[in-house]
Amino acid sequence: MTVSHDADVLILGAGATGLMAGFHAARTYPAARIVLLDGAKTLGAKILVAGGGRCNVTHDVVDENAYAGSSRNAIKKVLLRFDVPETTVFFEKLGVTLKREATGKLFPTTDSARTVLDALLDGVQHAGAVIRHPRRVVWVRQEDGLFVVGGDWGSMRAKRLIFATGGRSLPKSGSDGHGYSLAQTFGHTLTKQIFPSLVPLLLPETHFIRALSGIAAQVTLDVRSGAGKSLASFTDSMLCTHFGISGPAALDVSRYWLDAHSTDPAARLIVNWLPGRTMEQVDSDLQTWREASWKYAAHLSERLARSLCEAANILPTTRPDQLPREQRKNLARMLTEMPLPVTGNRGYTYAEVTAGGVPLTEINLKTMQSRLCPGVFFCGEICDVDGRIGGYNFQWAWASGYVAGVSVLAEA
């Protein structure tokens, strides 16, 4: 007996990944019924806010080293299937021309994320896929060789299921992590830890950095284990805020800091305000510095330079060449090896991406099909993959969504 189905492929989630998977599934299997279900009333919230409303679609140079989570070798296999030139051509064909900025980030020439979202929505519909929303999927099960999914809107049956439900970041967009529970229904495990990534970090209320809100500086942030080993290091701009630190360097380092600190409470986050300079070099310079101490780091901004002197218990107007050895060393240490007593992070509401998820070891990377439940596919942020800021997370969405889309009915 053949049991009737409502769709050949149901895609759970119509964010960046689901739209990519839907487009390629519809193009690759034109006779198939491809339906995307999304719980959100308004589609594409995350695409619209991305890159400050300009949508940083990808990066000029993408390789596995920009990612964390499952093994980099596994991530590389998927990235190679749909690379940056292919992404550029794909968007060009949808009518979105990308431009490269000095940082290597690629944006639409319109500088508007709306262009990217509209092109994807049009593309998916022209390719023949159908988007139904708001249809939040609350439960999933297997029945008579089909997948049945449902919510308060009813239920649908399909031959294949693609999970593109994202992670937990920006929950008001509809990505609240329920996809993880749905994946577990089919026997999947989740990484031991799922936590915010690319997230601003908090400092104690009395910390001087919080009084410098709005000041940015080029710094190196280094995560060190309790034993002093450097675990991850990023040199970029850091922004002082009324709650702690943000900006590219802080966001990039956040997942490594949170990961290290969860298993090693003695792990430390160290800021070097003079990237590339060591404490010894700075101490040696200070011995012959005959101006006010704060002027040594004046390029950072006067307020910040003065605050760093004060944090080292030195009057900013004192000349370092006249300081006792220990005080001078203290200033050198403060400038190059200052520990940041991070007390927490701003959580998923402010996180750009989620670290952890469905391990890639449970997925056949040639197809993104589940190794545990044939007929189920995974792509995008629900997987245990998170990238740096700069367009890497979308590139993972495009590449993994592409692989799932072209493979989903391959053996049907």
Ligand X SMILES: Cc1cc2nc3c(=O)[nH]c(=O)nc-3n(C[C@H](O)[C@H](O)[C@H](O)COP(=O)(O)OP(=O)(O)OC[C@H]3O[C@@H](n4cnc5c(N)ncnc54)[C@H](O)[C@@H]3O)c2cc1C
Residue 258 dihedral angles phi and psi, to the nearest 5°: -65, -40
**Length reported for the chain:** 412
Question: Closest separation between CB of residue 115 and ligand X, Å?
Answer: 14
Residues that bind ligand X (CB under 6 A): 12-18, 37-40, 46, 49-51, 55-56, 136-137, 164-166, 169-170, 174-175, 178-179, 352-353, 380-381, 391-394, 397
Going by C-beta distance under 8 Å and a sequence separation of 6 or more, which residues neighbour residue 205? Answer: none
Question: Closest separation between CB of residue 199 and ligand X, Å?
Answer: 10
- Residue (60 or 310) nearer to ligand X, CB: 60
Question: Closest separation between CB of residue 196 and ligand X, Å?
Answer: 10
HSE-CB at 182 with a 13 A cutoff on CA atoms is 31
CA-angle at 410, arms to 407 and 412, nearest 5°? 135
- Residue (64 or 222) nearer to ligand X, CB: 64
What is the CB neighbour count within 10 angstroms for residue 234? 21
- Residue (149 or 342) nearer to ligand X, CB: 149
Query: Cα(132)–Cα(23) distance, rounded to whole angstroms?
Result: 15
Question: Closest separation between CB of residue 298 and ligand X, Å?
Answer: 33
Token duo for residue 306: 């003065």
Question: Closest separation between CB of residue 200 and ligand X, Å?
Answer: 11
- Residue (51 or 375) nearer to ligand X, CB: 51
CA-angle at 94, arms to 399 and 15, nearest 5°? 50
- Residue (160 or 207) nearer to ligand X, CB: 160
Question: Closest separation between CB of residue 98 and ligand X, Å?
Answer: 12
Going by C-beta distance under 8 Å and a sequence separation of 6 or more, which residues neighbour residue 322? Answer: none
Residue 143 bridge partners (DSSP): 146
Strand spans (E) along 60-181: 67-69, 98-100, 105-108, 130-132, 139-143, 146-151, 154-163
- Residue (296 or 402) nearer to ligand X, CB: 402
- Residue (198 or 212) nearer to ligand X, CB: 198
Question: Closest separation between CB of residue 401 and ligand X, Å?
Answer: 7
Question: Closest separation between CB of residue 186 and ligand X, Å?
Answer: 14
Token duo for residue 391: 């367009």
Task: Kindly list the distances between the CA atom of residue 138 and the CA atoms of 33, 37, 87, 141, 339, in Å, as whole numbers in the listed order.
Answer: 22, 11, 32, 11, 44
Token duo for residue 266: 């003695």
- Residue (314 or 389) nearer to ligand X, CB: 389
- Residue (123 or 391) nearer to ligand X, CB: 391
Question: Closest separation between CB of residue 31 and ligand X, Å?
Answer: 25
Token duo for residue 201: 């970090």
Report helix angle 113-127 to 16-28, nearest 10. 30
Residue 224 three-state SS: strand
